[in-house]
């Protein structure tokens, strides 16, 4: 060990003793688990809680997702309940600071854990999702909750996966003075519910749209997802709230998601046609426009794991 390193270590030890902190990264204490949810008004009666563009971690507690609520004359409509019991409790407190009206409806846009693990806090109201979403929540909720606990620790304590109770299909639904159009799509998962508020023109796109955050693909069908994005392009809206990333007032988040998915599709297909091993594909260079997006490298690696075998199978079929 060099003298300089020893001096450094001795210095750190002294500093640690002086500060009384020891040589460990301090864990977030139970009393300080505050998601600091700050609802942002994006249209009349319409508030969004913007999550961090990060992965689940012990510092963010899973606050990586956009959730939202709409205050109608009859009560509050919640769109996605967040990653944990604690998040949803703090969401309800945040709602109560804005309106005395009760929460009367919760929608889950799809079955991924960051969008529904708060459902247990809404046992007193209708929780609503597409049938495919409810099936996915029942099938995978337990594994999701375990995984999220492994990644985010104490924040997730006491979180039980509770599937939505009330299946819904496409159509319109009048709640108080707000009329919502429910649009049933798929591609990010087997059931992706898009909700358009026909009065305010806000479109809640769920995880069909990521904005400056790399898309996740564990249950994706890229071809169905691209078709769903075409459907979204045909819908008029004033404000689009993506599942992750900043809301937008134009088509740029849809376009970014489309370009990324098209690139993934062609890159994996071409690699499969070249007969590359998965380990080689992982080394592919990301185009500059995507390389700069938070989590692009990590999500690309996951997407290769999720999707590459499928592309290999397709090219093998072609060769036979």
- Which residue ranges make up the site for Zn ion (CB under 5 A)? 112, 114, 207, 243
- 208 three-state secondary structure: strand
Task: Indicate the residue among 117 and 125 with the shorter CB distance to Zn ion.
Answer: 117
Residue 78 C-beta: closest distance to Zn ion, Å: 16
Residue 206 C-beta: closest distance to Zn ion, Å: 8
- How far, in Å, are 123, 128, 236 from residue 120 at the CA level? 6, 13, 34
Residue 207 C-beta: closest distance to Zn ion, Å: 4
Secondary-structure breakdown of the chain: helix, strand, coil percentages, each rounded to the nearest 5:
40, 20, 40
Residue 214 C-beta: closest distance to Zn ion, Å: 12
Task: Indicate the residue among 68 and 71 with the shorter CB distance to Zn ion.
Answer: 68
- For residue 150, give both structure tokens: 């492994």
Residue 256 C-beta: closest distance to Zn ion, Å: 16
Residue 217 C-beta: closest distance to Zn ion, Å: 11
Task: Indicate the residue among 155 and 311 with the shorter CB distance to Zn ion.
Answer: 155
- How far, in Å, are 77, 175, 205, 241 from residue 197 at the CA level? 11, 10, 11, 11
Task: Indicate the residue among 39 and 215 with the shorter CB distance to Zn ion.
Answer: 215
Q: Which residue is nearest to Zn ion (CB)?
A: 207
- For residue 224, give both structure tokens: 């169905």
Task: Indicate the residue among 114 and 192 with the shorter CB distance to Zn ion.
Answer: 114
Task: Indicate the residue among 161 and 269 with the shorter CB distance to Zn ion.
Answer: 161
DSSP secondary structure string for all residues of 155-203: GGTT------SEE--SEEEEETTEEEEEEEE-SSSS-EEEEEETTTTEE
Say how far apart CA 212 and CA 244 lie, in whole Å: 8
Closest CA to 48 of 281, 277, 239, 294: 239
How open is the CA angle 205-208-212, to the nearest 5 degrees? Answer: 90
Using alpha carbons only, how large is the chain's radius of gyration in Å? 22
Task: Indicate the residue among 63 and 128 with the shorter CB distance to Zn ion.
Answer: 63
Residue 113 C-beta: closest distance to Zn ion, Å: 8
């Amino acid at each position: 060990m060099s003298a300089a390193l020893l001096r450094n270590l001795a210095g750190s030890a002294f500093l640690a003793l002086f500060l009384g902190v020891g040589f460990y990264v301090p864990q977030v204490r139970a009393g300080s688990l505050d998601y600091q949810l700050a609802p942002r008004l994006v249209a009349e009666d319409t508030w969004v809680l913007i999550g961090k563009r990060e992965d689940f971690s012990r510092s963010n507690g899973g606050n990586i997702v956009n959730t939202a609520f709409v205050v109608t004359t009859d009560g509050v409509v919640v769109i996605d309940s967040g990653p944990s019991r604690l998040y949803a409790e703090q969401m309800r407190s945040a709602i109560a600071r804005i309106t005395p009206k009760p929460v009367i409806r919760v929608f889950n846009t799809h079955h991924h854990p960051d969008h529904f693990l708060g459902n247990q806090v809404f046992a007193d109201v209708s929780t609503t999702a597409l049938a495919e979403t409810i099936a996915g929540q029942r099938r995978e909720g337990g594994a999701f909750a375990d995984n999220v606990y492994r990644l985010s620790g104490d924040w997730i304590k006491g979180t039980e996966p509770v599937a939505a109770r009330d299946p819904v299909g496409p159509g319109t639904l009048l709640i108080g003075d707000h009329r919502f159009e429910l649009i049933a799509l798929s591609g990010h998962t087997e059931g992706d519910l898009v909700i358009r508020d026909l009065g305010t023109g806000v479109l809640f796109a769920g995880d069909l749209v990521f904005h400056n955050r790399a898309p996740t693909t564990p249950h994706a069908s890229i071809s169905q997802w691209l078709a769903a994005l075409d459907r979204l392009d045909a819908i008029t809206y004033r404000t689009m709230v993506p599942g992750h990333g900043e809301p937008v007032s134009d088509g740029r988040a849809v376009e970014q998601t489309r370009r990324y998915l098209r690139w993934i599709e062609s890159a994996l297909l071409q690699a499969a046609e070249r007969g590359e091993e998965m380990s080689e594909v992982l080394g592919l260079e990301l185009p500059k426009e995507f390389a700069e997006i938070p989590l692009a490298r990590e999500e690309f690696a996951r997407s290769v794991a999720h999707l590459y075998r499928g592309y290999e199978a397709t090219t093998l079929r072609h060769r036979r």
